[in-house]
């Protein structure tokens, strides 16, 4: 698959939308991807009466060809005349000065600080005893959606959309029970696959793919909630030593998930970017 090199970000303040607008939007989106090489097309309502779309491309030539398409130009004229009170378009080079243009983010549930401190102590133990330190790069967490690159120019719109998603979901209980491992590569505190948690994650995938129109992530159908204690660079000896400690260790904790958290990758590791309260 071609690499995403450019993002075209479209912000609009909506005026008078009619059925023709939605029909033409669907047709243009389909043509952009099937005829002009658009790699992905994400659309979100950043706030009431406002719309943001992000289309990803592998070349400026593709973007220029799309801009010169007669049907696309006709749609822009109609938008200016009747559908938009205001709009602006920005092209972002995703590879030039990447840190200034693009962020790496993921979404998670965080246990309360007391539980995070317990788990962090064990992560430090694995780092000290076996030099397995990767888990220290982020707060102890349960991943809801894996890391994704997002243009910073559209981050505010995404945050508003994520806030709307979170507020449409109720708080629920989460249980951590015992320890488990993925092969001999990852050791983790196991999280009960309760219907509320699994439904929340499925609901987020539906939001991601249907509401935003984004691509389905890899392994979307094999979600196993967990909190990682050790991963990356585990040798057979280090896995054996870590599992001998945690395998038989009794451990159960329960907490209420009251918010979803957006984390951003920084030079020093993953840090909390924003919190979104559940109702």
- Asked if residue 269 is part of any domain, the answer here is yes
- Asked if residue 65 is part of any domain, the answer here is yes
* Residue-level pLDDT at 46: 73
Distance of CA 57 to the CA centre of its chain: 19
State whether 265 and 189 are in the same domain: yes
Domain end, chosen from 46, 71, 96, is at 96
- Asked if residue 30 is part of any domain, the answer here is yes
* Residue-level pLDDT at 187: 98
* Residue-level pLDDT at 16: 86
pLDDT tens for each residue of 187-231: 999 999 999 999 999 999 999 998 898 988 777 778 999 999 999
Low-confidence ranges of the chain (pLDDT < 70): 1, 97-99
State whether 68 and 154 are in the same domain: no
Domain that holds residue 119: 102-277
State whether 207 and 268 are in the same domain: yes
* Residue-level pLDDT at 98: 66
State whether 235 and 261 are in the same domain: yes
- Overall number of domains in the chain: 2
- Asked if residue 1 is part of any domain, the answer here is no
Domain end, chosen from 96, 129, 149, is at 96
């Amino acid at each position: 698959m071609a690499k995403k090199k450019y993002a075209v970000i479209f912000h609009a303040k909506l005026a008078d939308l009619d059925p023709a607008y939605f029909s033409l939007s669907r047709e243009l989106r389909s043509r952009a991807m099937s005829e002009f090489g658009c790699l992905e097309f994400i659309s979100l309502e950043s706030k009431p009466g406002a719309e943001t779309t992000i289309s990803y491309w592998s070349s400026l030539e593709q973007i220029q060809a799309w801009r010169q398409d007669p049907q696309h130009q006709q749609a822009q004229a109609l938008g200016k005349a009747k559908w938009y009170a205001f709009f602006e378009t920005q092209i972002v080079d995703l590879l030039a000065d990447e840190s200034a243009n693009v962020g790496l983010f993921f979404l998670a549930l965080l246990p309360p600080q007391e539980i995070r401190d317990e788990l962090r102590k064990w992560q430090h133990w694995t780092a000290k005893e076996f030099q397995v330190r990767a888990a220290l790069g982020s707060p102890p967490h349960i991943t809801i959606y894996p890391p994704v690159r997002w243009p910073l120019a559209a981050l505010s719109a995404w945050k508003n959309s994520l806030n709307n998603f979170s507020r449409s979901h109720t708080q629920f209980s989460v249980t951590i029970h015992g320890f488990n491992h993925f092969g001999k590569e990852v050791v983790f505190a196991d999280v009960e696959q309760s219907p509320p948690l699994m439904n929340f994650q499925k609901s987020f995938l539906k939001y991601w793919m249907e509401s935003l129109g984004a691509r389905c992530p890899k392994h979307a159908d094999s979600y196993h909630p967990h909190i990682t204690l050790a991963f990356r660079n585990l040798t057979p000896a280090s896995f054996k030593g870590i599992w001998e400690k945690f395998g038989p260790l009794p451990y159960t904790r329960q907490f209420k998930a009251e918010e979803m958290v957006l984390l951003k990758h920084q030079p020093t590791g993953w840090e909390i970017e924003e919190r979104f309260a559940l109702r």
